[in-house]
Amino acid sequence: MSAAAPSTLEGTWALDKLHSTASFAVKHMVVSTFRTSFKDIDATFAANGDEIALTGTVPAESIDIDQPDFRGHLMSAEFFDVANTPNIEFRSTSVRRGADDTVQVDGELTVKGITQPVTATGTLTGPVADVMGNDRVGVEIEADVDRSLYDLNWNAPLPKGGEALGKKVTLAVHLEFVRQEA
């Protein structure tokens, strides 16, 4: 029995939401790190020859924070302003694969209606066939962004020095895609 020929990335892929996460981390109180994720993410992955395109959308209100006051502050115009700009969006402009599954993804990130270039790095793994015979690829990438570039400027000086909230936010997505039937 011969092994199947290595599958290519060619084609369009659908997000397996159950096995995908989008999260961020930001320093607060100078030394602590706050992390949370978004419960609802959508993404597309498509390869056409050497061209790979990745897009993603996250409704800001799907942030995994239930405490009403904390949540209310994040949804307000001081943070995500969901009434006017409900979604966080990403669109790749260039996806370059390196050795050992490494990948660099350049693209445009839109937060609060403001679009800025961003570069994410990580891994692009696959395709591999799962137990059901479906081809899967995994994309795990991270990017550091300056939140002030997106008009997310809230801060306050701490009583003993330093700022309440860091400017650098580390975004991380772990996405699993399944090949769509032609």
Give the interface with another protein as residue ranges (CB under 8 A): 28-29, 32, 34, 67, 69-70, 73, 156, 158-160, 164-165
**What is the nearest approach in angstroms of another protein to the Cβ of residue 70?**
5
Q: Where are the beta strands (DSSP E) in 147-164?
A: none
Minimum distance, C-beta of residue 75 to another protein, in the bound complex (Å): 14
Looking at beta carbons only, is 129 or 158 nearer to another protein?
A: 158
Which position has the token pair 């660099």?
104
Q: Which is nearer to another protein, 38 or 90 (CB)?
A: 38
Closest distance to another protein from the beta carbon of 167 (Å): 15
Shortest Å, Cβ 147 to another protein: 14
Give SS3 for 69: helix
Which is closer to another protein, CB of 69 or CB of 181? 69
Closest approach of another protein to the CB of residue 60, in Å: 17
Q: What is the dihedral of CA 159, 163, 165, 171, to 10 degrees?
A: -150
Q: How many CB atoms lie within 10 A of CB 68?
A: 8
How much is the CA Rg of the chain, to the nearest whole Å? 18
Closest separation in Å from C-beta 80 to another protein: 15
Collapsed DSSP state (helix, strand, coil) of residue 77? coil
> What is the rounded CA–CA span in Å between residue 142 and residue 95?
14
Which segments within 130-162 are labelled E, that is strand? 135-146
- Output the six-digit token pair for 163: 């700022």
Please say which residue, 32 or 84, places its beta carbon nearer to another protein. 32
Residue with Cβ nearer another protein (72 or 113): 72
Residue 103 or 169: which CB sits closer to another protein? 169
Contact 84, 60 (CB under 8 A): no
Measure CA 20 to chain center. 10
